[in-house]
Amino acid sequence: MINSKDLLGIKELAPEEIYHILDTAAGFKDVLLRDIKKVPPLRGKTVVSLFFEPSTRTRTSFALASKRLSADVVNFSVTTSSVVKGETLKDTALTIQSLGADFVVIRHGSSGVPHLLGNLLNISVINAGDGANEHPTQALLDLFTIQSRKKKIKGLTVAIIGDIAHSRVAKSNIYALTKLGAKVRVICPPTLMPAGIEKLGIDVFHSIDEGIRKADVIMALRLQLERQSKGFLPSLEEYFNLYGLTDERLKLAKEDAIVMHPGPMNRGVEIESAVADGPQSVILEQVTNGLAVRMAVLYLLSGVKK
Amino acid sequence: MSKEILDSDDINRAIRRIAHEIIEKNRGMQNLCLVGIQKGGVILAGRLASQIQSIEGGTIDVGALDITFYRDDIHTKAEQPVVKRTEIPFTIDNKTVVLVDDVLFTGRSIRAAMDALVDFGRPAHIQLAVLIDRGHRELPIRADYAGKNIPTSFNDLVEVTLGEDSRKDKAVLISGQ
């Protein structure tokens, strides 16, 4: 049912493929709750992670997911590699393939790099974030979390608050949620809203109070702090006052609404601590689910005919 | 070409006999539990359990085991796996676990099932009950309890249908080319 050897973006996936990944992830979630959290399907396979941007949770999550599947994991550290000697991305990738890797998990600051590698290599390429384009496994784990809490995705109202213009998490989630029939709202200052975003079939709000009204799911995005110095925002305090997710505002959403955040959080900027640690928060559950979803992705891609 | 090899009466008689054999061999049902292999073995395990309970009285633990993650053919099989639930809500430590499957063929599913099972605990014994043993073993595995031995060609297909309504149970042999 998964047709490509690579996971490049949600844009490239059909709804049935997304559901197949979520169903498989449910099986791995059960494995993670057992005493022995390791299963053997990727024994003898090698996963190389190639991160050109900093990451703690995604990288760790992929490494742990690989180990739980009995694969070997190698972290390719860009700062201490031949990349600093001027090796091209293409040569680095071909070298990794020649070393006998079966998967490359790549994060890169430029959009489209995973697609480039996917065409270049015979092995599976997994996008762990490319520029402002996509972060597909984050969207998949968000879907998994929503589905396990709400028992469905279709028909839900999901409000995404934050830096939509620079956020690959937002982009992947918009593709994923609209494909599965959820109603998506995006809320952010006009300076952080990409032109033409409403063409993706979503509703645009500049007021958080209106945007989160009666929402089933609220997703706060991390505000990259350097945005302020680049003149997109007057100040972080101002941003919190206008767009911060507070306990008071959360009351406008449905009573049983869940609060999500892809991490890492800036407490007191996009989200108040009382909300992040409150009863409606599923932020830590997202992290656990991320492991199950990444196991499912690695596992299913390993079964695709190359 | 397909032909019915067991009808619902045959299947019910086989289940009754296996239930008696399990009780006889284990001298009752103390310390015993049944685990059906997804998906053909799960309904069969349930049937065996109610049969055993009606003979001995009391209740016996029944679980379901999905072996997808333990198979050795994900990289070679044409269709992609669909994961089903594993539910073993009881400890198997020091128990006698009777693995239950509908058809015993190459033995590879049973190998995978034993690998999966030991990740849940350390059973005292593992036994194997199957409705049909069709031969062609590729591993040193045999059934402790078999409903019927059916000679087949390697390319044949054996399909067992067990449903809510036991009157519709049947086993069919489809000749391969």
* pLDDT tens by residue, A56-110: 889 999 999 999 999 999 998 777 677 777 788 999 999 999 999 999 999 999 9
Dihedral sign for Cα atoms in the order A144, A147, A149, A153: positive
* Residue A10 belongs to a domain: no
Count: domains in chain A: 2
- The answer to whether residue A292 is domain-embedded is yes
Interface of B with A (CB under 8 A): 66, 68-71, 74-75, 77-78, 80-86, 115, 119-120
List the domain range (segments joined by +) for residue B116: 2-174
Question: Do A32 and A78 sit in the same domain of this protein?
Answer: yes
Q: How many residues does chain A have?
A: 306
Give A69 to chain B, closest Cα distance, Å.
9
Residue-wise pLDDT for A145-179, tens only, equals 999 999 999 999 999 999 999 899 999 999 999 99
Phi, psi of B146, deg, nearest 5: -130, 130
Torsion of CA A188, A194, A198, A203, to 10 degrees: -10
- The rounded Cα B40 to chain-centroid distance in angstroms is 7
CA distance A81 to A74: 13
According to DSSP, residue A200 is labeled: G
Q: Quick one: tokens of B113?
A: 């099932």
Q: Do A31 and B69 touch (CB under 8 A)?
A: yes
Concerning whether A179 is annotated as a catalytic residue, the answer is no
Confidence bin at B176 (pLDDT 50/70/90): confident
The pair of structure tokens assigned to B146 is 């078999």
CATH code, domain carrying A183: 3.40.50.1370
Burial class (CB in 10 A: 0-12, 13-18, 19+), A214: exposed
Cα separation, A68 vs A51, in Å, equals 21
One domain, residues A101 and A190: no
Same domain assignment for residues A234 and A265? yes
Specify whether A168 is located in the same domain as A298.
no
Contacts of B52-57 spanning 24+ positions with Cβ under 8 A: B52/B19, B52/B22, B52/B23, B53/B29, B55/B19, B55/B20, B55/B23, B56/B23, B56/B28, B56/B29
**Domain membership flag for residue A5:** no
- Chain A positions touching B80 (Cβ under 8 A) are 1-2, 20, 300, 303-304
Task: Tell me, yes or no, whether A35 and A122 share the same domain.
Answer: yes
Q: Which sign does the torsion angle of CA A265, A267, A270, A274 carry? A: positive
Mean pLDDT, range A232-260, rounded to an integer: 94
Nearest to B86 among A2, A30, A40 (CB): A30
Q: Which of A77, A60, A72 is nearest to A101 (CA)?
A: A72
Q: What is the mean pLDDT of chain A?
A: 93
- Give the pair of three-digit tokens for residue A128: 């762990």
> Which of B70, B75, B84 shows the shortest C-beta gap to A40?
B70
Q: Establish whether A58 is a catalytic residue.
A: yes
By DSSP bridging, strand A46-51 and strand A72-77 are parallel
Active-site position among A58, A92, A137, A145? A58
AA letter at A21: I
Identify whether residues A154 and A267 lie together within a single domain: yes
Contacting residues of B for A38, CB less than 8 Å apart:
119
**DSSP code for A133:** T
Domain residue limits at A251: 136-286
- Residue A3 confidence class, pLDDT cut points 50, 70, 90: confident
Chain A residues with a Cβ under 8 Å from any Cβ in chain B: 1-2, 20, 23-24, 26-28, 30-31, 34-36, 38-41, 299-300, 302-305
Let me know whether A95 and A220 are in one domain: no
Supply the ipTM of this predicted assembly.
0.79
Residues A263 and A226 reside in one and the same domain = yes
| pLDDT (tens digit per residue) in B119-167 | 999 999 999 999 999 999 999 999 999 999 999 999 999 999 998 778 8
A202 falls within a domain: yes
Q: A157 lies in a domain? A: yes
Same domain for A111 and A74: yes
pLDDT at residue number A231? 80
Q: How confident is the model at residue B94 (pLDDT cuts 50, 70, 90)?
A: very high
Q: Do B74 and A41 touch (CB under 8 A)?
A: yes
Looking at the structure of chain B, the number of domains it has is 1
Q: Is there a contact between A34 and B119 if contact means CB atoms under 8 Å apart?
A: yes
CB contacts of B64 in chain A (<8 Å) are: none
Q: How far apart are CA A157 and CA A256, in angstroms?
A: 12
Do A255 and A175 share a structural domain?
yes
- Count CB-CB contacts under 10 A for residue B91: 13
Q: What is the CATH number of the domain that holds B156?
A: 3.40.50.2020
Nearest CA in chain A to B118: A36
Backbone dihedral angles phi then psi of residue B109, each to the nearest 5 degrees: -65, -40
A122 & A167 share domain: no
| Cβ burial A163-180 (10 Å sphere, 16+ → b, else e) | bbbbbbbbbbbbbbbbbb
**Beta-bridge partner residues of B157:** B174
B80–A304 C-beta distance less than 8 A: yes
Domain-embedded: residue A7: no
Whether residue A216 lies inside any domain: the answer is: yes
Q: What distance in Å separates the CA atoms of residue B97 and residue B80, rounded to the nearest whole number? A: 29
Which residues from B are below 8 Å from A24, CB to CB?
A: 81-83
Same domain, A153 and A281: yes
